Structure 1
Amino acid sequence: MKLKQLTITFLTFCVAAFSGMKAASAGSFSVIADGLYNAGGLSFGPDGNLYVTEAGIGGSGACVPPPSGQGDSLCYGTSGAVTKIENGKSERILTGLPSLALPDGSGGAGPRDIQFDSKGKPYVLIGYGANPAFRDRNLGNTDLGKIIAADFKTNSWTSVADLANYELTNNPDGGDVDSNPLGFVIDGKNFVVSDAGANDLISVNTGSSKLQAITTFPQDILTNPVFPPSDTPSNEPAQVPSQGEVVRAQFASQPVPSSVAKGPDGAYYVSQFTGFPFSEGGAKIYRVGADGKPSIYADGFTQLTDLQFDTAGNLYALQYANQSAWKGNFDGSVIKIATDGTRTTLLSGNGLESPSALTIGSDGAVYVTNQGDRPGVGQVLRVENTKSVPEPDSALGILAIGALGVGWLHKKRSPSDS
């Protein structure tokens, strides 16, 4: 199997490969929403309320093969949604959005992120997680793999940009053809999108809907990597070296971009979900400047899923799991990176498990979608009263922003499937 396919398959479906998940325990946070279905990105709207995407549970419609071409198919439904959290209550205010998922509803691909423009208009990023060639052929006219402009009052939307088709017709990284856009920012008249399946950062002009790849991301060459034992449960048995197989001292791994944030210096900062075998400490944060070339801003993380700057220029990174996910421990972390490079862990484990996205509120609190990779149990957490644990800088270190020349609940009913 090709490296990008392997990473995307794991990023989308890893929870289905393991059993015996831990129940969330009390921690330094409060739960402000629960009962979410494959919860994704979240953002505060102009009304001050918090909005979160739910990728849904697919449905009983037509199916497409998974990125690797092996394992259960992903089947289509209209169970995706956007939920508003207001005064401790949750309400789905945009429903019927496209969704793909495994038969048990896990591994949901659908609404993945939400952002509001300067006029308060909401836009939603719809994931996909498969070869775009199968989308139109198998599923017909669907908005999977696109950005849509939403109208909450009429429960309707219009397509703005087709990211999956851009990958199909251009394939900027020259690898296997996959599209799974996971995160985006609105930068003036442009959407800037991280497509994990395509392994690229894409700019979309909101006026013309013109798409253009900004950059792609390199492979990692791992030295003496740690692989799963041969009896490790997996959706992809080919991942796991067979018993007695000689493991190479160097191994090519393909991490993928999982989110993007605009920095106070005007550059884009991109988180990285580590490639197989998902080495602990192997994930990086890239800085992409005006020249479009990615450079390492910070390293030493494990399986990052999101980034966000606060108004003081501190960068918050969300770690999906603190260990290689094949170990079955999905305790995650929220890590603050100060402008001088100092790292502080705000929350680690203690109920934070496989988190998918974060945002910073006007109150300075960190809001996180927790257990975002499974149906019916997703949460939104407000991280508060944390005891910080300083972290040492990584080997490659951090380029502090200052050095770059800048100053910068309510449980709901199950969604219907169709």
Structure 2
Amino acid sequence: MSLNPVRRRPRRDALLAIGLGAAIACTATATAGAAELDVVAEGLSNPRGMTFGPDGRLYVAEAGKGGFGACIQTPQGKQCYGATGAITRVNVRSGRMDQIVKRLPSLAVQAETTGDPDGDSATGPHDISFDGDRAYFTVGLGANPAARADLGPAGPKFAGLYRIGRRGKVSRVADLGAYEAANNPDSGQPDAMIDSNPFSVDASAGERILVTDAGGNDLLRVRPDGKVTTLAVFRPFKTALAPAFLGLPPGTKIPYQPVPTGVVRAPGQGAYVGQLTGFPFPVGEASVYRVRRGRTTVKAGGFTNIIDVGFAGGNLYVLQITSKGLLGGPSPGKLVKIEPDGTRVELAAGKLMQPTGLAVSDDRDVYVGNHGTSGTDGEIVRIPAEDG
């Protein structure tokens, strides 16, 4: 499917910048937590999704920082391959980090002035989730799966779901890029096209692994044997005022895509899916969807550029990568806890910059990937339960 080039560029930039019952009414948000952030790990390369494993350690998907391999041209620049992605295990008490899986595929912009990989806003391992002692992780792409051919032997490694076996062996479970190319579940929507960017994964239900495809605008269910089905397509696409720099007549509205990001199961409630929103990334228009028994409804709205969601102790956690929108210039991210009665509490207000993933520990401390679009300075910070 084709896409208007003037609209296509900003949407891709956003996807790479990370390299995205009854509805809860939008309510005022209180703030909590005045203390400085507790940094438990630092020096990560584009930390993305994270989860606690059965051993009590925190596992983080690092998207890497690309390298000097084959390149593909994207609106963000020339993105080049390097085996710099990783799955990293963090002892949140001591801060010790171990890359338990190394040399995973990564794409990042090649800096034209120095010839060195910029490393920021990479695409690579995006999330990790456990089913017992087996871990599953996604590797993104953010392009038409056909572009993988330009990456040579590294190409097929992108746009997939992978499993880490009991002895650390990594194997591909499903080629989600091929699924998007063959099925294109969001076809027929304005400005939709064949595009795959596997993002978040929840493997907590064993045989029914959930994966969001931010490029395909859908929620997929993947079996451990690799069978893929579409569980939900996020539609219809909505419209927003066109930014002035597009040069369109004043008042012109253009369609924007849903762009699902984080997914988490909630016992007895189905699955919750966060929405980044596509270009022009309207402020306050992102929602958390609930997908249950074949129905998709809005659980909570009024957010901006959601990058991840979490659920623990009856509370829904919503993480925004920015507050002013991806076209609004630098601004802090936002972490909001939604309590069972709908009350919203902002945690670590004004302290999170480019946050990209979250995990909640058994004692309800919240861990967040901060500076998550940096190729060198990503960190994991802890927000104590008592601050919320």
- TM-score computed with the length of structure 1 as normaliser: 0.80
Give the deviation of 1:362 after TM superposition.
1.1
Summarize the Cα distance change of 1:260–1:5 in structure 2 as closer, same or farther, 3 Å threshold: farther
Summarize the Cα distance change of 1:6–1:315 in structure 2 as closer, same or farther, 3 Å threshold: farther
Distance 2:213 2:12 in 1: 14
Distance 1:340 1:205 in 2: 34
Secondary structure of 1:78's partner? strand
Match of 2:349 in 1: 348
Q: How many residues align?
A: 356
Q: Say which of 124, 136, 146 aligns to 2:149.
A: 136
Give the alignment of 1:25-64 within 5 angstroms: 27-64=35-72
Secondary structure of 2:77's partner? coil
Q: Percent same amino acid at aligned positions?
A: 36
Secondary structure of 2:229's partner? strand
Match of 1:84 in 2: 89
Distance 1:205 1:109 in 2: 24
Moved more, 100-109 or 245-254: 245-254
Distance 1:341 1:135 in 2: 43
Match of 1:339 in 2: 340
Match of 1:396 in 2: none
Secondary structure of 2:279's partner? coil
Distance 2:385 2:177 in 1: 41
Distance 2:86 2:387 in 1: 34
Structure 2 counterpart of 1:373, which letter?
A: T
Please report the RMSD computed on the Cα atoms of aligned residues, expressed in angstroms: 2.2
Distance 1:375 1:71 in 2: 15
Match of 1:181 in 2: 198
Match of 2:301 in 1: 299
Distance 1:357 1:159 in 2: 23
- Alignment partner of 1:201 is 2:219: yes
- Alignment partner of 1:318 is 2:319: yes
Secondary structure of 1:247's partner? coil
Summarize the Cα distance change of 1:300–1:164 in structure 2 as closer, same or farther, 3 Å threshold: same
Secondary structure of 1:331's partner? coil
Give the deviation of 1:249 after TM superposition.
4.7
Match of 2:160 in 1: 146
Distance 2:330 2:147 in 1: 33
- Alignment partner of 1:259 is 2:259: no
Q: Deviations over 1:3-33 (max 9, x none)?
A: 98456413234489xxxxxxxxx95420001
Q: For the Cα contact (< 8 Å) 1:254–1:274, is it kept in 2? A: yes
Structure 2 counterpart of 1:9, which letter?
A: R
Q: For the Cα contact (< 8 Å) 2:242–2:252, is it kept in 1? A: no
Q: Say which of 96, 100, 103 aligns to 2:107.
A: 100
Q: Deviations over 1:358-411 (max 9, x none)?
A: 0100121000011111210101010127655xxxxxxxxxxxxxxxxxxxxxxx
Distance 2:337 2:362 in 1: 17
Match of 1:409 in 2: none
Secondary structure of 1:277's partner? coil
Distance 1:40 1:152 in 2: 23
Give the deviation of 1:137 after TM superposition.
4.8
Q: For the Cα contact (< 8 Å) 1:321–1:354, is it kept in 2? A: yes
Give the deviation of 1:64 after TM superposition.
2.0
Match of 2:330 in 1: 329
Q: Deviations over 1:26-50 (max 9, x none)?
A: 9542000111111111111111111
Q: Deviations over 1:157-194 (max 9, x none)?
A: 11111111101111111131111111011123021100
Secondary structure of 2:13's partner? helix
Distance 1:7 1:348 in 2: 28
Gaps of 5+ in 2: 20-33, 111-117
Distance 2:212 2:10 in 1: 15
- Alignment partner of 1:124 is 2:141: no
Summarize the Cα distance change of 1:162–1:7 in structure 2 as closer, same or farther, 3 Å threshold: farther
Distance 2:18 2:316 in 1: 28
Moved more, 160-169 or 245-254: 245-254
Give the alignment of 1:377-416 within 5 angstroms: 377-384=377-384
